[in-house]
Amino acid sequence: MSIRQFLFMAFVCAFETYFFNDLLLSGNYLFALFWGLLLFRDLRRVHTINQLTKTILKAANSPKKKD
């Protein structure tokens, strides 16, 4: 993931979190549910990318078999 993609994803998550919290605290639960679903989708995607990155780094750093 490039830095540009990371920054864009962080900005989108922050944007969705702001609107989710604002609508939840103002009592607009239908729209809060909408923003909450979008936020959940993005956070799940970030978690998957994080796990994939950890797996790749772990495989790259594992000791090689010597013949």
Residue 3: CB partners within 8 Å, gap ≥ 6?
Answer: none
pTM confidence score: 0.73
Per-domain residue ranges for the chain?
3-61
Give 67's pLDDT tier (boundaries 50, 70, 90).
low
Angle (CA) 19-22-27 rounded to 5° is 120
One-letter amino acid at 17 equals T
Give the burial string for 38-56 (b: 16+ CB within 10 Å, else e). Answer: bbeebeeeeeeeeeeeeee
Q: Which of 34, 30, 36, 39 is nearest to 11 (CA)?
A: 39
Give the per-residue pLDDT at 6.
Answer: 84
Q: What are 11's two structure tokens?
A: 């900005």
- Tell me: the pLDDT tens digits for 8-66? 889 999 999 999 999 999 999 999 999 999 999 998 998 898 899 889 989 888 877 77
